Structure 1
């Protein structure tokens, strides 16, 4: 066939048009299964004549009662990126594309965009500007679209456009360009065009410039997102547009931030962007907008605005790019359970400081002002307290504390302070004039101060300019520079500790984090440009941070060089005269290698306790080293998840001890307030105590970022425990520098610059190299090449653990779901959909066997021989393959779908014994008729020999025979979730989603619930106190014993099983107890999210498992009673109770058991400041008064 013949063939059958309609439909819907979609489309085409095949026939998804194809159950995708319209026809031009610019007679006049977020008032402002300038045409693209949608409501394409627009999404580019082209073409006499509501994404902007006209200028109405939302909420009741809901409005804001903000950056780079502060009054905004507009059009060249504009660049009174880089947002979720989120912010340029500091005003105290800055949770307040404790003549002024004190004194009766209270509670700033007045008044109270240390101020450029204008005399700013994750952890911990600050709530904290990232960090960059910024790494121990602050203050206020002693110490207040408190250590060196011994011979730190400690800590201890940006934190988290290790950091231990309020914590506070370094003896003691607490339950210990010096490593191994090996994550300086600089693009950390990074890396190498040499010489160093991805690096970590014969934890697998269904039930398809939506890993024993055979491994060869003989593969091999596959994915997966498993009961039982128990069994129930019909339909194309009626019948009989016992077994455990799979895949998946959504919702609700463990010995009266708490505070009271007894009484299958266990005298498995508790909590979530867990945990392992699998512990109520009192009460009870265990001998044993089991629990939770210890020696009412004091300090 010749080329001409081929062309004639294709043309006669309209093949090009067919391909055009197929591709248009494909790009419009973007289905997940594109092959099936095209097949469905071709099936529809068979019934159409050639004349009926149009380019947009598959866009008309609602044109008939049986639309084709039903993409995503007939729903539109939530967002849709449109392809370039360079060669796409507009609907009214069936054959020719939009005419090229230059040949269409469009007027050569200025085109100015006015852009703003939804609700910014851009429409009214554009109309007012146009009204002041005769001949200028204002084009409101949003109104044009709505009018066109209304006029063409019967057009299927415009119905689709309407669906997009009313849901807050973008109309297709070809539609908007066509409208703009037509309106411009019909206004050939216009002096210029003011276009608002366009462009809304980068594609629209570039297509406009390519096909319509040059863009002369872009005017941005810059508004805070909160102001837009407030305005929308105020107007909501009177809104005429009934189709605009709160969610739609939120989506429009999200679209603006995600798609329109990059457009503004594009025009800003081109020198065409001009910013107007849209948060001012309408009159002020219109005045600034008109001024900019008049300036721009006053110097036209050839009828257009030159780029850049002639003369000085026009600016508004507040031209700030502060919001041009805010992160994409999502519509607000209808959830009561919120988690703290850190805002993702790209680089924001520093603001221009227009009001310069000209020194302190004469009527104010003349002491220097030092600003102490840092993100929320950076520890500013703690460090300020240390500074004032050391330097009595330095006055600490915390703007937050000053405002909160003022609110407490004035109350909310005063309208002004009621407003301020509301602002602070929501995480907003107090008005500038109020903060400025309060700061001035506070300074006036201390005319003889040596210096003012001002915390929490200024927070943005406006406050800084006001300070310069009305106070002046800013000496320098100290920035406590902290990593995002550090701030997040501190804030969550502070919130969990029951802080009574009105602004310590998740929405307020998130707002403060976002404000700091978007406004305060850019201000700090501007201060750095003034050479007034001193950056201190705030991620370290409090003592180390304070040490650096002291050096800065010593030098700046007292003229002392680093480590120079003052000539007159009284000048600085009560400065501690001691050294750092560390005793010199003699290292035992043999042939240049440090010899680390632990026995009485050669170890100066040997004690009898050390021998006992060796017996107690009999799990691996691993030191973890790595430079900044090496990824050791991520790898530690992976190790914890897979191997069940405990992750310890000396800095965290110090902070926890101080927070606990213990005697040692008070001692540490005193040491750090004096600016001294914490002695190594105390650090080692903290490590030792923490490891003792975890010793019985941990699989091993990761000592993170330790040792930093050789002495620390030697002393640790001599006094605490030997290190099994040292994991060192080795990364080149180039890679670490690149990672840190990449992080700087969104972290906002000012120390992520070339010079600072270079210094940090040099310090790391200088300090760490001797440590590396020490452990390399004794064969304990495991160097990991950490240049690759997180997964690649963890593969190497896995190999090290495998070589060291450290097995994964049995509890590492997380959520496991067995997926059961007959042949043709569609379970494979549903598994794929679950994977896509919920992030599970899909595993099939059949697939794993085939993959192993194809791998050519020794085991694969053995499997090939077995199957060639027609023998069954052993269950041991199948389980091993499943376990290995799960272990490979355990770190990254959210859960596992075990497809087609178990096929028989023994498989399920063995899986539970050797791997883990399933969370539930998902059973796709389909009639034999439906399965037979589906399999016969598949036979037409599958070519499978077993897809015939007789074989199918036998397969179904076999399936029922082997599966029925499996379903019965898990039904008795209340673990079967049955889904009818008779309908199409979308309808079935809708039911599956309900199952997984409910599971996730319950887990989220449990994680955010308030749980109090109630602990007390027999006779402590905890049951009575629980009843009082339930009555007064609405808690749900749970007792594991009561739950077990109730389950047995119910006569359920589980109850029978539990009864059989208890009758044998065996202990009920912890998994059973936890499941009962979890079920009881879930069933009560509709009534309360506050729970008293009575008499639990009895052992530390129980508490840790509860927190991992059910919910975190909020607090522990410990009713402390002497053994004498408990014995007396129990003996008294024994006179009437008839209980055989109420006798002195038995009571003594019970009390001894209680103390042995409970002490580790109390010690563990004391480390986190969660224990409220109440003396229960007195009467019920007196004890409950103490309980109420504790309860009133919390927000339940």
Structure 2
């Protein structure tokens, strides 16, 4: 039986509730013979009809009924009925009554802390004021939560809270405290800090910043129990951002961070344990927030600017619906993508299970786009500057009834508009960066969607420029039916470009031509090799006249029409 099956069994059989009640009875009665006492209690359970009839105070004598339930057990039942669906098959209804074992060793040890103090109920936000918007950012260790949380906070003027930093600072400032010394050991081994301790620290931090318009909380919750406690004791979040990242990428980032920052919880053993905890807890947590309609998922394997662009559009749409939304938002809210290497194997051994994606129930945000696209052909036209791509594209459009999409034209058109996306693109390009793949794909998808039904196919010129772009296009839109590569020597392309420059005052010189060709060859060699393995590539000898080259291109085109 793996961990998930064990948790499900314990929850279904009401075992945590039984243990809670027995422990309350022992603490109140303090029997001389605890074994005999427990035997009598278990007999009473049988007489009552089973574990589901046991309450937190079943074994507490009447004069001691003022004892508060462990972890707020009985008091939380009405909350659970309000928050969770009444479907008996829903597997997360009683997760709050299944606390990690290490909580008993810390939170219930009166030498370390008073449990009643930890679960004390008090208002976090002033009811007379508007509550700040709350964004929770979750994901595996190394998925980029901190980076994206800071970007969100900066863009919207929100306060940023790192739960990990809160705990680390507390540990550092109270290093002589026995309780926090134990918590430090727990975190260093890769385990989760005790739930009520973490919630208390978040509460105290929130009460220190009562006037914020919004708050971004990084790294919380880590499991369903923590999510329930957050909603019970603080509030329901306005948005949950989940950064989905492959197992291998998480490990690479954590090891790199360990080298650069030297954090004590980034050691190899702790890293493996943290990934294991994430693997066990993430799927139920994502499923829970999905049931509440609160979560948006993003592919965090990509460049951080691309990820942030998608997040910013989602935040605009979810929290500021009256604000002008950036075009391309149809890329958001993909079906819940979870790495099977993270979530499927829940055994005790840490093992990389691969990077395949698992789709959980979710919304198909692309609508009928992909279905309509199946009726069209997709052709990539790649080649260096001066190879004659533009000339051949014009001829192909006329002969085959295709729609020509030039990525250069799409970018220029997007930059001419005043949208959130265009401003982000300008910021990136002014810093010398390339237009992120996510934005480029959004531009292409919009242009393709606008022509569906009126074209036989799409002739895409200038994309992809590297293997990563090709992989993303295939995953998010579809694989091309044909890739035409205009094969031309560097000398020929140089001569053509220099001849063209003579008729233009802003034309290329020998130095700029050389740099353009160097950039092209650096990216195109692995790209050509990538499509050769997929048997989609047709190399065209582009040294001849436009008419001679066109005959070769038509031969390649006729193979798919």
Q: TM-score when scaled to structure 2?
A: 0.47
Q: TM-score when scaled to structure 1?
A: 0.24
Structure number with the bigger relative contact order (C-alpha 8 A, sep ≥ 6) is 2
